[in-house]
């Protein structure tokens, strides 16, 4: 039995298929954890969802910002962007089943000693707190008020977490942390405009995983979302968005309990120009 974390697929179904062939993935034996941004920007978002659904419990998926954007468009809460490439899902005869499956995926997972998120974790959050807050968003996405929530999901405020937050403001911060975070201050104030790598940190901000005293250092955090960051394979953080949709690679990490994790990559044809993403 092998366990894998896989970075941002973003509609690159052919690359995902090649990666699964490369690792000889067997759904009867192996499990893969996809770290969000399953769809959008690439050429075959529909194929990605159908493949993942066909794998059943062998494919465990997180929701990224692009996946939430698809749900928002599908529920009339957001307009499509010119660069969106998920019309194939919206026009599919099995659209309802695809979107129903998507909204039941996770915002965070903790498996095999690894905390998995799409983007990041605030320095003041513990692993159990992160999972509990993710569950709050998951409950709304799976419930009858999903459209109302998606209409109010967007925005950069509040820019910091407060335990006293309630309602839509509370949910918005949780979503922003888990699906958009790159940089924050030592006090946990987030910044969302900068998409460069570590060297492009705005003054007064740090990559979330380098803030001193971060409370998730006792576990390994695996994440995607940050293609300009590049591969980061530390004992406490694993960055797996290797820019597949920008002409980079699609990466999988085989999780080994008794040795170093093994990274496997397949090259992707360039489908988008850098800088076109959300």
The string of pLDDT tens digits covering residues 205-250 is 999 999 999 999 999 999 999 999 989 999 999 999 999 999 999 9
pTM of the model: 0.95
Q: Is the pLDDT of residue 275 over 90?
A: no
Q: Which CATH number fits domain 3-267: 3.30.365.10, 3.40.50.300, 3.60.21.10, 3.40.718.10?
A: 3.60.21.10
With cut-offs at 50, 70 and 90, classify the pLDDT of residue 269. confident
Residue 271's closest CA among 253, 255, 248?
A: 248
The string of pLDDT tens digits covering residues 154-171 is 999 999 999 999 999 999
Sheet holding 220-223, edge to edge: 109-111, 114-116, 220-223, 237-239, 232-233
Average pLDDT, the chain: 95
The string of pLDDT tens digits covering residues 253-266 is 999 877 678 999 99
* Mean pLDDT, rounded, for 85-108: 98
Phi, psi of 142 (to 5 degrees): -90, -5
pLDDT over 70, % of the chain: 96
Q: Is the pLDDT of residue 276 over 90?
A: no
The string of pLDDT tens digits covering residues 178-200 is 999 999 999 999 999 999 999 99
The full set of domain ranges for the chain reads 3-267
pLDDT of residue 271: 55
* Mean pLDDT, rounded, for 51-55: 98
pLDDT of residue 230: 85
With cut-offs at 50, 70 and 90, classify the pLDDT of residue 270. low
């Amino acid at each position: 039995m092998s366990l894998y974390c896989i970075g941002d697929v973003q509609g690159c179904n052919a690359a995902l298929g090649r990666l699964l062939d490369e690792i000889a993935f067997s759904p009867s034996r192996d499990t893969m954890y996809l770290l969000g941004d399953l769809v959008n920007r690439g050429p075959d978002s529909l194929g990605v969802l159908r493949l993942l659904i066909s794998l059943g419990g062998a494919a465990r998926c997180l929701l990224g910002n692009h996946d939430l954007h698809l749900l928002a468009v599908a529920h009339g809460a957001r307009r499509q962007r010119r660069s969106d490439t998920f019309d194939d899902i919206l026009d599919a005869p099995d659209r309802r089943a695809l979107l129903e499956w998507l909204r039941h995926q996770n915002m965070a997972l903790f498996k095999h000693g690894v905390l998995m998120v799409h983007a990041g974790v605030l320095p003041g959050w513990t692993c159990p707190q992160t999972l509990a807050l993710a569950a709050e968003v998951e409950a709304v996405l799976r419930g009858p008020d999903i459209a109302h929530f998606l209409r109010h999901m967007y925005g950069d405020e509040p820019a910091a977490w407060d335990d006293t937050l309630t309602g839509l403001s509370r949910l918005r911060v949780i979503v922003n942390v888990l699906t958009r975070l790159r940089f924050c201050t030592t006090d946990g104030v987030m910044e969302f405009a900068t998409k460069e790598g570590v060297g492009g940190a705005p003054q007064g901000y740090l990559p979330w995983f380098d803030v001193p005293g971060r409370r998730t250092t006792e576990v390994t955090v695996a994440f995607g979302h940050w293609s300009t960051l590049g591969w980061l394979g530390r004992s406490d953080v694993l960055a797996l968005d290797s820019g597949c949709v920008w002409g980079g690679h699609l990466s999988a990490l085989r999780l080994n309990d008794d040795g170093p994790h093994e990274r496997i990559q397949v090259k992707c044809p360039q489908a988008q120009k850098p800088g076109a993403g959300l």
